[in-house]
């Protein structure tokens, strides 16, 4: 099964994509990882991407799609794959269709903006060992101090209120329209993203089975 995961930043789609990948024994294909891999391997599309990156420009959709095609042609994707982080816009989805990449299901993890703000703004990470905490739902034993290594916890720039707000705006403006795009194609499965990881995974698996 070829699956796309949609959801706002902080909705937990990456975690759910990993769970489904394990259950279906198919790879999760991340756009960022693919570009890095194409650059490292010096593929035709990787070299094209490199020219834009070195010029400080965004990699154009047609180059990203080309890199995706190269990645999806590999043996481990022949029984299915999960796209996480792509497409982000309707033109990207249309380009994916035009390149002959056929998706079976699109899973949208639905989480209200207020809940996402609470999740991300409250997150604290350890700069030393990478452990993650939350000021409400996963408090460290000593406030502001990592349980694992004793380093002082920090709030990442990505989790600052203004950054989260900006990212949500971009999501609503550019990516959320994909829900209607894939709903019209009969491929969209919407899943409630509030609850424990296990509860949400159960909903995702049920949605995939019901819409299979």
| Catalytic machinery residues | 13, 88, 123, 156, 167
Number of Cβ within 10 Å of residue 212's Cβ equals 9
How many helices (H) does the chain have, and how many strands (E)? 9, 7
Distance from the first to the final alpha carbon of the chain: 9
For residue 37, what is the enclosing H or E element? helix 31-41
What b/e sequence results for 41-73 when a residue is b if at least 16 CB atoms lie within 10 Å of its CB, and e otherwise? eebebbebbbeeeeeeeebebebbbbbbebbbe
User: Is residue 124 a contact partner of residue 130, using CB atoms and an 8 Å limit?
Assistant: no
How far, in Å, CA of 166 to CA of 120, rounded? 13
State how far the Cα of 74 lies from the Cα of 29, in Å rounded to an integer.
11
């Amino acid at each position: 099964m070829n699956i796309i995961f949609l959801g706002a930043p902080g909705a937990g789609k990456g975690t759910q994509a990993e769970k489904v990948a394990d259950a279906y024994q198919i790879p999760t294909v991340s756009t960022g990882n693919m570009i890095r891999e194409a650059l490292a391997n010096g593929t035709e599309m990787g070299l094209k991407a490199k020219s834009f990156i070195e010029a400080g420009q965004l990699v154009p959709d047609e180059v990203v799609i080309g890199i995706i095609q190269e990645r999806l042609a590999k043996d481990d994707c022949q029984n299915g794959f999960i796209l996480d982080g792509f497409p982000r816009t309707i033109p990207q989805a249309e380009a994916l269709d035009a390149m002959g990449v056929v998706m079976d299901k699109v899973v949208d993890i639905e989480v209200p903006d207020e809940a996402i703000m609470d999740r991300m703004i409250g997150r604290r990470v350890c700069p030393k060992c990478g452990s993650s905490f939350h000021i409400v739902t996963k408090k460290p034993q000593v406030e502001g101090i990592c349980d694992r290594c004793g380093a002082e916890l920090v709030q990442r720039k990505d989790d600052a209120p203004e950054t989260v707000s900006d990212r949500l705006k971009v999501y609503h403006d550019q990516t959320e329209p994909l829900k209607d795009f894939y709903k019209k194609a009969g491929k969209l499965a919407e899943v409630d993203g509030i609850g424990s990881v296990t509860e949400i995974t159960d909903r995702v698996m049920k949605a995939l089975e019901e819409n299979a």
